């Protein structure tokens, strides 16, 4: 990346020097023609990296939510009801994923999050679901999904398009993806205090 910027700056400096000396400037084919391609590659790489970061954050946050629910929730909740515990877990998970930080939320295309807990006789099903809001970068989202994701591309291409772009003419329903992680933890009759490993009083 540094080499590319250094090369571009040197060529621009040479062109400016030539114009100052009264010589006609040489056409910089690399800058004029390849710079937009370079920008496209940078945007795509950044969004792929953002999606990878979001998936990793979801896995870590879902493990935290499931483990804490397993230890602190119980069937005979009285002084600390399960709905308060669920709300506290959801707030901490939101902060970790990045909803409290506007720059992180913008980079990861975050829109909303929902933490659901379903009790069964043996298992508690913890579902963490995050909804994304596409930023619709005009340089990448100029053409409709059917044209971009035509054969031989398939469902993976459409999922990526929905993550980054709003389909033209379908701004209400045509953008964003929901990513979810499901964890199963056993039910407990009594709570155990959740303590992060390595932390001592």
How many Å apart are CA 69 and CA 85, to the nearest integer?
A: 8
Instruction: Examine residue 192 and state whether it is found in any structural domain, yes or no.
Output: no
Q: Which residues of the chain, if any, have pLDDT below 50?
A: 170-173
161: which 2 tokens?
Answer: 């398009």
According to the model, what pLDDT value does residue 162 have? 77
124 Cβ neighbours under 8 A, 6+ residues apart = 69, 70, 73, 117, 118, 184, 185, 186, 187
According to the model, what pLDDT value does residue 129 have? 92
- Taking CA atoms, 147 is separated from 97, 163, 193, in Å, by 33, 16, 54
According to the model, what pLDDT value does residue 147 have? 81
Backbone dihedral region of 22: left (phi > 0), alpha (psi from -120 to 50 degrees) or beta?
left
Instruction: Examine residue 166 and state whether it is found in any structural domain, yes or no.
Output: yes
Domain containing 116 equals 2-17+30-186
Instruction: Examine residue 195 and state whether it is found in any structural domain, yes or no.
Output: no
Query: Which run of H or E residues covers position 125?
Result: strand 123-132
Instruction: Examine residue 194 and state whether it is found in any structural domain, yes or no.
Output: no
Nearest C-alpha neighbor of 193 from the set 12, 71, 107: 71
According to the model, what pLDDT value does residue 172 have? 44
Give the number of domains in the chain.
Answer: 1
According to the model, what pLDDT value does residue 96 have? 93
Instruction: Examine residue 131 and state whether it is found in any structural domain, yes or no.
Output: yes
pTM over 0.95: no
Q: β-strand 178-186 against 123-132: which pairing, if any?
A: antiparallel
| Model pLDDT for residues 101-153, shown as the tens digit of each residue | 998 888 888 888 999 988 877 788 999 999 888 766 666 677 777 887 888 88
According to the model, what pLDDT value does residue 5 have? 65
- Taking CA atoms, 29 is separated from 20, 25, 32, 89, 139, in Å, by 20, 12, 5, 55, 20
According to the model, what pLDDT value does residue 139 have? 65
According to the model, what pLDDT value does residue 171 have? 47
Instruction: Examine residue 199 and state whether it is found in any structural domain, yes or no.
Output: no
How many Å apart are CA 109 and CA 121, to the nearest integer?
A: 37
Instruction: Examine residue 98 and state whether it is found in any structural domain, yes or no.
Output: yes
């Amino acid at each position: 990346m540094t080499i590319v910027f250094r090369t571009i700056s040197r060529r621009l400096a040479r062109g400016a020097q030539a114009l100052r000396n009264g010589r006609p400037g040489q056409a910089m084919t690399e800058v004029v023609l390849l710079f937009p391609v370079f920008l496209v590659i940078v945007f795509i790489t950044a969004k792929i990296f953002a999606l990878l970061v979001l998936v990793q954050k979801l896995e870590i946050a879902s493990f935290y939510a499931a483990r804490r629910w397993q230890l602190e929730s119980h069937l005979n909740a009285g002084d600390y009801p399960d709905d308060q515990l669920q709300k506290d877990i959801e707030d901490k998970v939101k902060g970790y994923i990045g909803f409290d930080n506007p720059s992180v939320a913008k980079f990861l295309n975050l829109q909303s999050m929902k933490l659901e807990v379903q009790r069964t006789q043996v298992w508690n099903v913890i579902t963490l679901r995050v909804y994304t809001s596409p930023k619709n970068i005009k340089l990448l989202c100029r053409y409709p999904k059917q044209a971009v994701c035509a054969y031989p591309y398939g469902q993976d291409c459409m999922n990526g398009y929905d993550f980054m772009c709003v389909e033209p003419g379908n701004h209400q329903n045509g953008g964003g993806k929901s990513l979810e992680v499901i964890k199963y933890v056993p039910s407990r009759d009594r709570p155990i205090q959740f303590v992060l490993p390595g932390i001592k009083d």
